[in-house]
Amino acid sequence: MSGFVCPHCKECTNVFSTGGGEGLAKHYEVPFLGRAPIDPNLVMLLEQEDKTEVPNVNDPSAEKQHTTSIVDTYQRCELSKVFASIATYLDKYLTEK
């Protein structure tokens, strides 16, 4: 985890020290995959009971949005971009091996 993403202003605050993962990856000579912040929007999406009526991750106070897939909603969450980048890197890295 690299920090905490404020659900209101989207600013990421480092609540832990930074650079530990990168240092560990360098020490063991493995690729550093990235920083994944704690994102309360992701928790909000995963913990609700009705997965078809989901909060607007960009404005939690807004009216809920209808969806047929939690994956569709998750893709609008900022954290999905971090994991997509990691998955793309791993796909390329493993394809080249």
Q: Check residue 60 and give its pLDDT.
A: 60
Q: Do residues 16 and 3 make contact, with C-beta atoms less than 8 angstroms apart? A: yes
In terms of DSSP H, where are the helices of 58-97?
70-74, 78-96
Per-residue pLDDT of the chain (97 residues; tens, 9 = 90+): 577 877 778 788 888 778 888 999 999 999 999 888 887 777 777 776 665 665 565 666 667 666 666 677 677 677 888 888 999 999 998 898 7
What is the structure's pLDDT at 62? Answer: 67
Sign of the alpha-carbon dihedral angle for 64, 69, 72, 73: positive
- Residue 65: per-residue pLDDT: 65
Q: What is the pLDDT of residue 38?
A: 80
Q: In the prediction, which pLDDT does 29 show?
A: 94
